[in-house]
Amino acid sequence: MPSKKHIISDLGEKKLIHRIIKKTHNLQQDYYSKHPLIKKSLGDDAALMDLSEIGPSKNFLVVSSDMLLAKTHFPSQMSPRERGWKIVTVNVSDISAMGAIPQGLILSIGLPGDMEIRQFDELMDGVLEACNYYHIPLLGGDTNESSQMVLSGTIIGSVEKSKALMKSGARPGDIVAVSGDLGLAAAGFEILLSSTLDQDKIKSILPEKIIKKVIQKALKPQAKIKEGIIAAQSGNVTALTDITDGLASELEEILKASDLPLGIRIYEDKIPLPDEVKKIGEFFSKKPLDMALHYGEDFELLFCIKKDALASLKDKIKLMVVGEVTSTGNMEIVDKKGNINILPPGGYQHLEG
Amino acid sequence: MPSKKHIISDLGEKKLIHRIIKKTHNLQQDYYSKHPLIKKSLGDDAALMDLSEIGPSKNFLVVSSDMLLAKTHFPSQMSPRERGWKIVTVNVSDISAMGAIPQGLILSIGLPGDMEIRQFDELMDGVLEACNYYHIPLLGGDTNESSQMVLSGTIIGSVEKSKALMKSGARPGDIVAVSGDLGLAAAGFEILLSSTLDQDKIKSILPEKIIKKVIQKALKPQAKIKEGIIAAQSGNVTALTDITDGLASELEEILKASDLPLGIRIYEDKIPLPDEVKKIGEFFSKKPLDMALHYGEDFELLFCIKKDALASLKDKIKLMVVGEVTSTGNMEIVDKKGNINILPPGGYQHLEG
């Protein structure tokens, strides 16, 4: 009776991950009694390992893994070189969200047997271009045959134990800020995924420079590694994550990760939505705000910052304040008229995407 | 002109990996000038990282990644739980081949959206059963939708800097030994992949106990982590690798990794080929010897051992001597009549499998 079957796409990615974490918590209890940190960081942007046992260290090892699949993650226009760049960037972004310094990348790949060697070389050129850009070595990996391209990266980094930044840690009164404009990558993907007819239309409406900018942002994003490291060193950031699934989804993650009954209030007119996002959103009749709240892919960072430290941190990195941490227990967005509305988490769900 | 296209399946996995390593060597030269170890271990069973820069340590961090795909690696009879067990085992085996102690696993998975939640839970049960068996935590990972099941693991371990064992390091006169019987997994896969008619036939010829044993070996292999650690601690093992692609292929890896013009001579009558492998091989008209030389999947270890230390190491771990390291530059096998023949490397090629 197929209709009776419970399948994982009914759950979606977040519930599936929650299910894995719950099961892991149950089955690895014995381990956690000796290693509480492992339990604490499971489900964060990256895992934190205390290396003290294998040698004294003032640092945590920071490890994270991200997989990209052709059908789910790569628009057809994305070149092999851009795909190679992106698998490195998504992984680096995960540890930048811990304030960590990247130390190396492992890459396992599955490729169609009929992939041209020329394309394969371009893919690896993109991987190594990104590794060199982020100053990390490619440490190793595995190659396999796969009907569709699968790129699975694991990034290894380090962060001073006292400085590591997790999703948890925000406090009422903290300032909520992002590291840059939101929605640009979403705008780029809208164009890339649209019909050639629409593409011709929008090219006739908007200057080429703008089209190029948003498509570049979609095809070749850059992880905010410097900003993460500075945030961690400052000691004034209470929670940090990278915005891969949209601002709303990441704000929810911050609330969920906290032991306190936190709330967050953001302000529509403070969200950094560039004109090009508004124009492109309107062209495709998408609400520009949704492209910032529910799309992601910009790889900007989301900070919770001690109020009195905002100014000093602003001198060091680009920060755009979008709201504050509250104790209401709600996620709220204040619209341009000043009305307070509940902000639905939503966010991009890979298993549904 | 498709006929003119050069595609990666023309190369096969080993040439493809060699291509990646060569390109990486070219593009990351600047990095290697400061970190020669990273260059040295690229292409070995696992990467070695010197953590001194992020805190003093008497240990190397050992990192390796292995990906398994349903179509390429999993016979249909393999249960979700067995698949989960195997992705952990193949990764643990890679660092056992460095003499390392496993410290944690990262797992990224791609799954069909219509996979039953029940099966998903079994998959994760297998992963966590294996993690607990090898005493490692599941550190994190990523989930995605994929047309076929993709499991990509990254294992992190540690080994004393002075004890780490690589493929390089063998010296003429060293004893070549393996950690256990060879060909059992191959025999199991022969049965699993055969027609139901053949399966019924062989079940009528061989005792159920034997069938169960070889199938178990194929579906639920175990990494020889203890043997690797003891080998490293002994200080008397000069080279170590795990046998995943067949004895011949791994012997070739040992020769390639050496700076010396080494040769290896093994003896047909010394290769531990259990009777069940001979019987099953003959039934499927496969040369039993080939099942040991060119199949792998047993996850046994291959040791090169200082001659005078063999006895003391034999007291601590199971060792089966198969030959010795020479300086002839050739891979040789001595047949049962005493004739010396050249041993072709061959081995299982994932991209052709």
CATH number at residue B80: 3.30.1330.10
Q: Per the domain annotation, does A136 fall within a domain?
A: yes
Helices (H), chain A: 13-27, 29-34, 36-41, 70-73, 80-96, 117-133, 184-192, 196-205, 208-219, 225-234, 247-257, 275-283, 288-293, 310-316
Q: Per the domain annotation, does B184 fall within a domain?
A: yes
Determine whether the interchain pair B55/A54 forms a contact, defined as Cβ–Cβ distance below 8 Å: no
Q: Per the domain annotation, does B1 fall within a domain?
A: no
Determine whether the interchain pair B141/A13 forms a contact, defined as Cβ–Cβ distance below 8 Å: no
Beta carbons of B176 and B144 less than 8 angstroms apart: no
pTM for the model: 0.90
- Best probe of the A interface among B38, B143, B159, by most A CBs < 10 A, is B143
Nearest to B132 among A27, A57, A109 (CB): A27
Residue, of A296 and A289, whose pLDDT is higher: A289
A69 and A36 both lie in a single domain: no
Residues A53-74, mean pLDDT to the nearest whole number: 85
A190 and A236 both lie in a single domain: yes
Determine whether the interchain pair B108/A152 forms a contact, defined as Cβ–Cβ distance below 8 Å: yes
B147 and B84 both lie in a single domain: yes
A114 and A232 both lie in a single domain: no
Q: Per the domain annotation, does B349 fall within a domain?
A: no
Determine whether the interchain pair B47/A110 forms a contact, defined as Cβ–Cβ distance below 8 Å: no
| Tokens representing residue A332 in the block | 């709220």
Beta carbons of A149 and A74 less than 8 angstroms apart: yes
Question: Rounded to whole angstroms, what are the CA distances from B85 to A101, A262, B111, B122?
Answer: 32, 39, 16, 10
Q: In what order do the strands lie in the sheet with B101-111?
A: B47-50, B59-69, B150-160, B101-111, B138-145
Could you tell me which residues of A are annotated as the binding site for substrate?
73, 297, 348
Give the DSSP letter string of A92-108. HHHHHTTTPEEEEEEEE
A85 and A202 both lie in a single domain: no
* The length of chain A, given as a count of residues: 353
Residue, of B60 and B229, whose pLDDT is higher: B229
**The pLDDT value given to residue B275:** 94
Mean pLDDT, chain A, rounded, equals 90
Cα separation of B69 and B60, whole Å?
A: 30
B155 and B193 both lie in a single domain: no
Determine whether the interchain pair A55/B54 forms a contact, defined as Cβ–Cβ distance below 8 Å: no
Determine whether the interchain pair B137/A57 forms a contact, defined as Cβ–Cβ distance below 8 Å: no
Nearest to A28 among B11, B125, B137 (CB): B137
Return the C-alpha torsion angle B249, B228, B126, A46, nearest 10. -100
Shortest distance, CA B166 to any CA of chain A (angstroms): 14
Q: Per the domain annotation, does A167 fall within a domain?
A: no
For residue A347, pLDDT over 60 is answered with: no
Taking contacts as CB-CB distances below 8 angstroms, the residues of chain A near B158 are 51, 54-55
SS3 A232: helix
Residue type, A307: K
Nearest to A71 among B17, B47, B147 (CB): B147
B322 pLDDT band, cuts 50/70/90, is very high
Shortest distance, CA A32 to any CA of chain B (angstroms): 8
pLDDT tens profile B234-282: 999 999 999 988 999 999 999 988 989 999 999 999 999 999 999 999 9
CB count within 10 Å of CB A52 equals 14
A3 pLDDT band, cuts 50/70/90, is low
Find the closest chain A residue to B71 by CA distance.
A146
SS3 A230: helix
B82 and B214 both lie in a single domain: no
A193 and A314 both lie in a single domain: yes
**The pLDDT value given to residue A346:** 66
**Mutual angle of helices B275-283 and B196-205, in 10-degree steps:** 140
From A135, A160, A185, give the residue that closes a domain. A160
Residues B220-242, mean pLDDT to the nearest whole number: 96
Mean pLDDT, chain B, rounded, equals 90
Residues B191-201, mean pLDDT to the nearest whole number: 94
A224 and A156 both lie in a single domain: no
Could you tell me which residues of A are annotated as the binding site?
45, 64-66, 73, 94, 141-142, 167, 242, 244-245, 297, 348
For residue B48, pLDDT over 50 is answered with: yes
**The pLDDT value given to residue B347:** 43
Sign of the four-CA dihedral A78, B17, B65, A156: negative
Determine whether the interchain pair B65/A8 forms a contact, defined as Cβ–Cβ distance below 8 Å: no
From B113, B137, B160, give the residue that closes a domain. B160
Cα separation of A83 and A151, whole Å?
A: 9
How many inter-chain contacts (A to B, CB under 8 Å) are there?
301
**Three state DSSP letters for chain B:** CHHHCCEHHHHHHHHHHHHHHHHHHHHCHHHHHHCHHHHHHCCCCCEEEEHHHHCCCCEEEEEEEEEEEHHHHCCCCCCHHHHHHHHHHHHHHHHHCCCCEEEEEEEEEEECCCCEHHHHHHHHHHHHHHHHHCCCCEEEEEEEECCCCEEEEEEEEEEECCCCCCCCCCCCCCEEEECCCCCHHHHHHHHHCCCHHHHHHHHHHCCHHHHHHHHHHHHCCCCCHHHHHHHHHHCCEEEEEECCCCHHHHHHHHHHHCCCCCEEEEEHHHCCCCHHHHHHHHHCCCCHHHHHHCCCCCCCEEEEECHHHHHHHHHHCCCEEEEEEECCCCEEEECCCCCEEECCCCCCCCCCC
Residues A53-65, mean pLDDT to the nearest whole number: 79
Q: Per the domain annotation, does B144 fall within a domain?
A: yes
B1 pLDDT band, cuts 50/70/90, is very low
Determine whether the interchain pair A9/B114 forms a contact, defined as Cβ–Cβ distance below 8 Å: yes
A82 and A156 both lie in a single domain: yes
pLDDT tens profile A192-214: 999 999 999 999 999 999 999 99
Nearest to B8 among A23, A32, A113 (CB): A113
Cα separation of B205 and A149, whole Å?
A: 44
pLDDT tens profile A208-264: 999 999 999 999 999 999 999 999 999 999 999 999 889 999 999 999 889 899 999
Beta carbons of B62 and B99 less than 8 angstroms apart: no
Residues B165-194, mean pLDDT to the nearest whole number: 96
- Best probe of the B interface among A37, A152, A162, A241, by most B CBs < 10 A, is A152
A64 and A114 both lie in a single domain: yes
Q: B325: Cβ–Cβ under 8 A, 6 or more apart, which residues? A: B170, B171, B172, B173, B174, B175, B176, B262, B263, B264, B304
Domain of A95 in residue numbering reads as 59-160
* The length of chain B, given as a count of residues: 353
HSE toward the beta carbon, residue A136, CA cutoff 13 A: 28
Nearest to B65 among A28, A140, A352 (CB): A140
Taking contacts as CB-CB distances below 8 angstroms, the residues of chain B near A16 are 120, 143
Shortest distance, CA B319 to any CA of chain A (angstroms): 28
A19 pLDDT band, cuts 50/70/90, is confident
A126 and A214 both lie in a single domain: no
Residues B186-205, mean pLDDT to the nearest whole number: 94
Could you give the number of structural domains in chain A?
3
Q: Per the domain annotation, does B351 fall within a domain?
A: no
Helices (H), A48-114: 70-73, 80-96
CB count within 10 Å of CB B61 equals 29
**The pLDDT value given to residue A23:** 85
Beta carbons of B99 and B159 less than 8 angstroms apart: yes
- Do the bridges between strand A138-145 and strand A101-111 make them parallel or antiparallel, or are there none, so unpaired? parallel
Question: Which among A338, A219, A343, A328 has a CA at the least distance from the CA of A293?
Answer: A343
Strand (E) or helix (H) holding A267: strand A263-267
Determine whether the interchain pair B152/A115 forms a contact, defined as Cβ–Cβ distance below 8 Å: no
Cα separation of B264 and B69, whole Å?
A: 33
Determine whether the interchain pair B142/A19 forms a contact, defined as Cβ–Cβ distance below 8 Å: no
Could you tell me which residues of A are annotated as the binding site for Mg(2+)?
45, 64-66, 94, 142, 242, 245
Determine whether the interchain pair B113/A8 forms a contact, defined as Cβ–Cβ distance below 8 Å: yes
Beta carbons of A131 and A175 less than 8 angstroms apart: no
**The pLDDT value given to residue B3:** 53
- Best probe of the A interface among B68, B119, B146, B158, by most A CBs < 10 A, is B146
Residue type, A176: V
Find the closest chain A residue to B152 by CA distance.
A152
From B111, B128, B160, give the residue that closes a domain. B160
Nearest to A16 among B51, B132, B143 (CB): B143
Question: Which among A349, A210, A227 has a CA at the least distance from the CA of A277?
Answer: A210
**The pLDDT value given to residue A29:** 83
Q: What is the ipTM of this complex?
A: 0.89
CATH number, position A266: 3.90.650.10
Question: Which among B41, B179, B42, B165 has a CA at the least distance from the CA of B101?
Answer: B165
A351 pLDDT band, cuts 50/70/90, is very low
For residue B299, pLDDT over 60 is answered with: yes
Q: Per the domain annotation, does B165 fall within a domain?
A: no
